Amino acid sequence: MSAVEVYQQVLDAVDFYEYLGLTFVEAKTDEDICRMQIPDAETLRTPVGHVHGGVLTSVMDMAGLFAVWREYGTPGGKAYTTAMDVSFEKSATQGVTAHAVVRDRTTSSERDELAIEVELFELPDTHEFGMPYDPENDPESTLVARSRVEFVMLDDRAVASTA
């Protein structure tokens, strides 16, 4: 089973992520990238037509967590979020893709810490949902938000921070 299939099984086991339509798209080991997407869905919008900020925050939280799991090789490992800082650049009016990239990992005798950058981009109208989308290669990509999230691994392996 591929990494994408394993991670999608984890998402499919949680009703909330199924409701969001959260789809795991890519885990690039050579670049330490995890990517996931949500579709353009009316049920995820505010009354004025924007994707709800809570939905966007949930997507960034899960993308960061999946990057931690990928780093440790433990899909579905027991972890929880302890802090989150989100900066919204603009509102999203259609489906989005989240990119979580491991930037740094520090190991000490007491814990491991990871610095992970999570960025959220609006999917272009021409993009086929569920297919990888690389905003760095799209001059018209639109950054929606950046986040920093801190996680604690319950197996005492690490404390992780996404930047």
Those residues with Cβ within 8 angstroms of residue 126's Cβ, 6 or more apart along the chain or in another chain: none
Q: Is the pLDDT of residue 158 over 60?
A: no
Identify the H or E element spanning 72: helix 53-72
Q: Which domain holds residue 45?
A: 3-162
The helix/strand/coil state of 55 is helix
Question: How far is it, in rounded angstroms, from Cα 120 to Cα 23?
Answer: 14
Q: pTM for this one? A: 0.85
Tell me the CATH number at 66: 3.10.129.10
Residue type, 99: H
The number of folded domains in the chain is 1
Question: How far is it, in rounded angstroms, from Cα 75 to Cα 111?
Answer: 19
Q: Is the pLDDT of residue 66 over 80?
A: yes
Query: Could you read off the pLDDT of 127-136 as tens digits, one per residue?
Result: 888 888 888 8
Query: Could you read off the pLDDT of 29-57 as tens digits, one per residue?
Result: 666 667 889 998 899 999 999 999 999 99
